[in-house]
C-alpha cells in the first residue's frame, strides 16, 4: 500500500509554499525523514523531510509550482518494508544492578527495583525517531530525549537534531534560475522565474503598488569626507577592519533622523498606520550570486564607525556566502543601496517595504566646481533617495536630504555625536 506525503505546515500563518527544487526522483529509494524537496515561503526557505521511507512512485508538482499546505506532494510505495514500515526495535533492557543481601532484614519493596545506570536511557525509550536520525544524533553527540520532535506524531527529524546542534539557524539561500544563461543568436530560451528571484519580483511589485514612490536627487561635495576616510582607514586596517564610506553615511543618518524622525519609520498596512521607530536599524542592499538580500545592522545609533565597518563587512560576506541568519534580514527601519563601486551617477531605488524611504548612494567622481570664484577639482557624489509619498511630503524629503548633505560635507561634525 502506498503512502501519500502531503506538504506539512511550514510556518505560523503560512498557507502555501513554492516548490523550488526536487531532491529525489521517481524510482529512488528513500529512508524515513529524508529530505525530498526544497520549498520557499515568504519567511524562509527550507528542506522538507518525508517521514515515510520506500520507493518514490510519483511526484505531484513541478518546480516553480505554488503548493497549498496539506496538498499532495509525494507518493511512496510501501513495498520496501525494511525501509518504510519496519518498526524500530526497542532499546535493550537494562540489567538490574545486584546488591548484597542484607544481613538483618529485607529492604523495603521499592529498594528491590532495578537500578538504571543513566536516567537518559529511560527517556530514550520514549523517543520517536528513525534509525537514520538516531545514528545522526549519536554521531553528533546529541541526546534525543532533550529534543521536541516536529515530525508526524512528535517524531524527531534530522532537522530537529540540526536545530539542537545550532539553535540559531542560518537562512538557506537557494540559487535562482540562471536568468543570464547564454543562448545562441536566433534561438529563444524560456527561463522559469522561481525561488528567490520570484520572491524579489513579488516584493518589488508589492512595494511599488502600495507605496507611491518619488525620488529626490541632490549632489554632495564629498571632498572632506574622502579626506577624513583616507586619514583614518589605515588605523582601521591595523585593527583588521576595512573602512568604507557607508559607516559615515549611517552615522550621518542617525544625526539627521533626530530632526526627521518620520523618515525612520515603517508602515502597518493592516492598520494603515506609520510606526516611527526609536531604533535605527539600517539595511544594506547586498548583491549576491543568489540575488538581492538586505542584511540589517541593528542599533546603529549606539555603535562607533569602527564597529559599524566591522559588522558590515562580516554580515555582507556571510550574506554572499549563504550563511546569514534569518534574524539578520529582519527588523530594518531604513535601507541604503549603493552601486558606487560599479559606476553610475544616480538611480531611482525601490523602497524596501514596509519601510518608508531608501537612500541611493552613488559613485564619487572628480568634477570641476566653482569655489570662491575659482574652478577647482572636487569629489562629487549624488544622493538619490526614494520616499513613500503617502507619509513623506516632497518638502520634508528635500529638507531631509539637505540636512544629510550638510553633515556629509562637514564630516568633522560627526565628532559632536561621540559620547
Which residues are identified as catalytic? 389
**Other Cβ atoms within 10 Å of 272 Cβ, number:** 8
Question: Which pairing describes strands 66-68 and 16-22: parallel, antiparallel, or unpaired?
Answer: antiparallel
Question: Which pairing describes strands 357-371 and 334-338: parallel, antiparallel, or unpaired?
Answer: parallel
Cα–Cα dist 405/220, whole Å: 6
Residues with Cβ within 8 Å of residue 271, at least 6 apart in sequence:
none
Task: Cis check for the bond before 354: say yes or no (omega within 30 of 0).
Answer: yes
Cα–Cα dist 289/286, whole Å: 10
Cα–Cα dist 71/221, whole Å: 58
The angle that helices 158-165 and 131-139 make with each other, rounded to 10 degrees, is: 20
Which element (helix H / strand E) includes 73?
strand 72-77
Cα–Cα dist 350/384, whole Å: 11
Grid cell in block for residue 119: 536516567
Amino acid at each position: 500500500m502506498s503512502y501519500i506525503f502531503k506538504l506539512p505546515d511550514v510556518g505560523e500563518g503560512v498557507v502555501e509554499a513554492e516548490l523550488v527544487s526536487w531532491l529525489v526522483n521517481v524510482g529512488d529509494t528513500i529512508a524515513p525523514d529524508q529530505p525530498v524537496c526544497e520549498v520557499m515561503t515568504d519567511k524562509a526557505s527550507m528542506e522538507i523531510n518525508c517521514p515515510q521511507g520506500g520507493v518514490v512512485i510519483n511526484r505531484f508538482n513541478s518546480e516553480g509550482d505554488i503548493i497549498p499546505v496539506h496538498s499532495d506532494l509525494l507518493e511512496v510505495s510501501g513495498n520496501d518494508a525494511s525501509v518504510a514500515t519496519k518498526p524500530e526495535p526497542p532499546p535493550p533492557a537494562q540489567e538490574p544492578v545486584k546488591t548484597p543481601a542484607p544481613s538483618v532484614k529485607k529492604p523495603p519493596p521499592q529498594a528491590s527495583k532495578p537500578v538504571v545506570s543513566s536516567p537518559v536511557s529511560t527517556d530514550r525509550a520514549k523517543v520517536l525517531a528513525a534509525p537514520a536520525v538516531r545514528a545522526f544524533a549519536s554521531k553528533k553527540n546529541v541526546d534525543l530525549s532533550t529534543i521536541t520532535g516536529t515530525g508526524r506524531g512528535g517524531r524527531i527529524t534530522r532537522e530537529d537534531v540540526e536545530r539542537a546542534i545550532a539553535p540559531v539557524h542560518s537562512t538557506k539561500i537557494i540559487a535562482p534560475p540562471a536568468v543570464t544563461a547564454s543562448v545562441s543568436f536566433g534561438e529563444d530560451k524560456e527561463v522559469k522565474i522561481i525561488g528567490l528571484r520570484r520572491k524579489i519580483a513579488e516584493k518589488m511589485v508589492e512595494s511599488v503598488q502600495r507605496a507611491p514612490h518619488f525620488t529626490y536627487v541632490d549632489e554632495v561635495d564629498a571632498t572632506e569626507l574622502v579626506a577624513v576616510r583616507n586619514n583614518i582607514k589605515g588605523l582601521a586596517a591595523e585593527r583588521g577592519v576595512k573602512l568604507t564610506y557607508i559607516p559615515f553615511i549611517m552615522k550621518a543618518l542617525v544625526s539627521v533622523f533626530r530632526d526627521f524622525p518620520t523618515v525612520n519609520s515603517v508602515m502597518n498596512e493592516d492598520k494603515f498606520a506609520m510606526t516611527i521607530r526609536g531604533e535605527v536599524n539600517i539595511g544594506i542592499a547586498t548583491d549576491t550570486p543568489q540575488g538581492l538580500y538586505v542584511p540589517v545592522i541593528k542599533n546603529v545609533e549606539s555603535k562607533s564607525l569602527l564597529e559599524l565597518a566591522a559588522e558590515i563587512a562580516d554580515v555582507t560576506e556571510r550574506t554572499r556566502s549563504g550563511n546569514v541568519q534569518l534574524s539578520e534580514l529582519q527588523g530594518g527601519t531604513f535601507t541604503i543601496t549603493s552601486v558606487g563601486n560599479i559606476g553610475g551617477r544616480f538611480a531611482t531605488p525601490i523602497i524596501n517595504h514596509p519601510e518608508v524611504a531608501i537612500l541611493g548612494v552613488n559613485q564619487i567622481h572628480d568634477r570641476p566646481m566653482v569655489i570662491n570664484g575659482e574652478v577647482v577639482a572636487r569629489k562629487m557624489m549624488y544622493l538619490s533617495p526614494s520616499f513613500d509619498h503617502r507619509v513623506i511630503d516632497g518638502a520634508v524629503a528635500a529638507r531631509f536630504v539637505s540636512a544629510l548633505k550638510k553633515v556629509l560635507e562637514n564630516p568633522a561634525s560627526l565628532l559632536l555625536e561621540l559620547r
